[in-house]
Amino acid sequence: MASPEAVGAPPEVSAGIDQKKPSKQQIDPYNVAGEIDDSGNTKAIDYDRLIEEFGTQPLTEHHLRRFEEVTGKPAFRLMRRKLFFSHRDFDKILDAYEKYGSFMLYTGRGPSSGSMHLGHCIPFLFTKELQELFDVPLVIMMTDDEKYLYTRNKNDGVQKKGNAAEDFLEYAHENIKDIIALGFDPKKTFIYTDYEYLGGHFYRNTSEFESLVTFNQASGAFGFNASTSIGFAAYMAKQCAAAFPSSYPELFGYPDYRPPHYDPSAQRRHKALASIPTLIPCAIDQEPYFRILRDRCERMTDPHPKTCLILSKFLTALQGPGGKMSASDPNSAIFMSDTPAQIKNKINKHAFSGGRETAEDHKKYGGNPDVDVAYTYLSYFLEDDAELEDLAQKYRSGEMMTGEMKARCIAELQKFVGEFQERRKEITHEVMRTYTTPRKMEYGGNPRVKASPSEANGSLTETPAAAAAGKDGRGTKGERKAAKLAAKKEGKLPVRQKDQDGGGGDATAS
């Protein structure tokens, strides 16, 4: 886990040409770096070791099959290729979706600068695919506060140019426009910055969560020490409380609850929302937050099911495996604002090659696509499995040269970034505001689960017990009551439907 120095260390260490001191692989929310061996070479990130260290589960063929069975659709390429390679309780979210028809997706981004690069897009591309396949609501948290506090903490509290709270809010707005341009559906996507949205039920969940984490536990996970600012140390609770659907009552049809609205029924957090499960797609460096979250979901006054995670690898820096693309090192990353010429230059000049020293040797012995950066990028962006396999084979056999692999990669990235830029032009401030306005989400959920229209469009109102009571998943009122009583006895009732008094998706008619 993170060492006590972690928080003061540079934010992103990318693989480079500089000679470095030997060090162990370090992955946590504030550091991503492969091992540096005795001769100063950066090694590729060892993901198997990470799974072991973090205690997460590998994503297997079984999960892919189960995913296809539940959604009736083929798994997305990032999942097929195990670029999302690990999880916690992914099976459980599939089970819940199969039984009760919906869940909430949650992901986020720390707006450290105004421009996003390809690596930042990966979790969002994947999340968008999941949202489309499952037809469920999604919240995206932009942590302007986290990046502000992190930067001030790193600078010993010294405020530098471009580092005011307002600057990070501004970066968040620009990043939100980029995220929207990736194609999220405004009907079921809520994007917010912490500075603009935090308050109300969210803040109450945050307070409660803060009360469940001791400073020792937080420093164990994040490497905080006595010199860490209390603001930065406290931030983690916000990233955790953001996973609770009860932090966002408006999205599930509950009336506005912030001043000047004093409707008493809207003041208390809604127990019904606590039963909605959450799935977080994110890069594995964020896992330390959610380990702490999962251990406390069931300790909340309104217990939440343990949050499920699906975790990705990092998009390698241009310099090769061992580091990730870093916004602070322009030569390590392809930015979403790069021109076709810049993309071409960066790949040709900087992309680490898995080819041989000379063309002769390459033809004779073949190259290694596994460490070849151009091939690696293609594995993220090229949809066609057969073509990808063909490229790998031809590279291995020496039939295909590094220059050709790079050309194929350049074409694919220029297409992806070019199409993105076309959409990005249309994202005005007003468009952004439609996504950042809290409003009732419209989503259908699992079409195979029969539910009344208000249920389908609201929260996960059924209890497992109620579902077991009737073939339509609800049964009669009497049956539901009996089933609930039985479940209560067994201690597994996650929600009381009565608590839906504030509105939302409860269908009381039977």
String of DSSP letters for 259-310: TT---GGGTSPPGGGGGS-EEEEEEGGGHHHHHHHHTTGGGSSS--PPPEEE
Q: Which stretch, 39-47, 141-149, 250-258, 261-269, contacts ligand TRP (CB under 6 A)?
A: 141-149
* Binders of ligand TRP in range 18-57 (CB under 6 A): 29
Q: Which residue of 246, 286, 402, 436 would you call a contact of ligand TRP, by CB under 6 A?
A: 286
Q: Which stretch, 181-189, 278-286, 438-446, 488-496, contacts ligand TRP (CB under 6 A)?
A: 278-286
The closest of 65, 116, 109, 119 to 91, measured between CA atoms, is 65
Query: In terms of CB distance, is 242 or 351 closer to ligand TRP?
Result: 242
Query: Least CB distance from residue 151 to ligand TRP, whole Å?
Result: 12
Query: In terms of CB distance, is 200 or 288 closer to ligand TRP?
Result: 288
Q: Report the alpha-carbon distance of residue 450 to residue 99 in Å, rounded.
A: 10
Distance of CA 410 to the CA centre of its chain: 26
Q: Which two tokens stand for residue 83?
A: 């670029």
Provide the 8-state DSSP code for 330.
G
Query: Least CB distance from residue 123 to ligand TRP, whole Å?
Result: 6
Instruction: Count the alpha carbons within 13 Å of 388 in the hemisphere toward its beta carbon.
Output: 18
How many residues at the interface with ligand TRP, by CB under 6 A? 13
Query: In terms of CB distance, is 29 or 502 closer to ligand TRP?
Result: 29
The answer to whether 436 contacts ligand TRP (rule: CB under 6 A) is no
Query: Least CB distance from residue 84 to ligand TRP, whole Å?
Result: 13
Neighbours of 346 (CB within 10 A): 20
> If you count them, how many residues does the chain have?
510
Q: Which stretch, 66-74, 105-113, 125-133, 159-167, contacts ligand TRP (CB under 6 A)?
A: 105-113
Residues with Cβ < 8 Å from 281, sequence gap 6 or more?
A: 84, 105, 107, 123, 126, 127, 130, 309, 310, 311, 312
The answer to whether 317 contacts ligand TRP (rule: CB under 6 A) is no
The answer to whether 316 contacts ligand TRP (rule: CB under 6 A) is no
The closest of 88, 105, 93 to 248, measured between CA atoms, is 105
The answer to whether 144 contacts ligand TRP (rule: CB under 6 A) is no
Query: In terms of CB distance, is 111 or 253 closer to ligand TRP?
Result: 111
Q: Report the alpha-carbon distance of residue 135 to residue 437 in Å, rounded.
A: 20
Q: Which stretch, 138-146, 171-179, 201-209, 245-253, contacts ligand TRP (CB under 6 A)?
A: 138-146
Q: Which residue of 102, 107, 316, 459 would you call a contact of ligand TRP, by CB under 6 A?
A: 107
The answer to whether 93 contacts ligand TRP (rule: CB under 6 A) is no
Query: Least CB distance from residue 168 to ligand TRP, whole Å?
Result: 11
The answer to whether 280 contacts ligand TRP (rule: CB under 6 A) is yes
Q: Which amino acid is at 311?
A: L
Say which residue the tokens 């140390």 belong to.
233
Q: Which stretch, 102-110, 262-270, 345-353, 463-471, contacts ligand TRP (CB under 6 A)?
A: 102-110
Query: Least CB distance from residue 72 to ligand TRP, whole Å?
Result: 27
My answer on whether omega of the bond before 260 falls inside 30° of 0, hence cis, is yes
The answer to whether 193 contacts ligand TRP (rule: CB under 6 A) is no
Say which residue the tokens 């392809």 belong to.
334
Q: Is the sign of the CA dihedral 316, 321, 326, 330 positive or negative? A: negative
Task: Output Rg (C-alpha) for the chain, integer angstroms.
Answer: 24
Do the bridges between strand 57-58 and strand 84-88 make them parallel or antiparallel, or are there none, so unpaired?
A: antiparallel
Provide the 8-state DSSP code for 81.
T
The answer to whether 127 contacts ligand TRP (rule: CB under 6 A) is no
Q: Report helix, strand or coil for 460.
A: coil
Q: Which amino acid is at 76?
A: F
The answer to whether 240 contacts ligand TRP (rule: CB under 6 A) is no
Query: In terms of CB distance, is 280 or 392 closer to ligand TRP?
Result: 280
Do the bridges between strand 26-28 and strand 31-33 make them parallel or antiparallel, or are there none, so unpaired?
A: antiparallel
The answer to whether 119 contacts ligand TRP (rule: CB under 6 A) is no
The torsion angles phi and psi of 126, rounded to 5 degrees, stand at -70, -45
The answer to whether 223 contacts ligand TRP (rule: CB under 6 A) is no
Contact indicator for 326, 317 with CB cutoff of 8 Å = yes
Helix (H) or strand (E) holding 53: helix 47-54
The answer to whether 241 contacts ligand TRP (rule: CB under 6 A) is no
Q: Which stretch, 8-16, 56-64, 103-111, 472-480, contacts ligand TRP (CB under 6 A)?
A: 103-111
Q: Which residue of 239, 436, 452, 461 would you call a contact of ligand TRP, by CB under 6 A?
A: 239
The answer to whether 122 contacts ligand TRP (rule: CB under 6 A) is no
* Binders of ligand TRP in range 56-75 (CB under 6 A): none
The answer to whether 109 contacts ligand TRP (rule: CB under 6 A) is yes
Query: Least CB distance from residue 140 to ligand TRP, whole Å?
Result: 8
Q: Which residue of 179, 181, 282, 401 would you call a contact of ligand TRP, by CB under 6 A?
A: 282
The answer to whether 177 contacts ligand TRP (rule: CB under 6 A) is no
What does the binding site for ligand TRP look like in residue numbers (CB under 6 A)?
29, 107-110, 141, 143, 146, 239, 242, 280, 282, 286
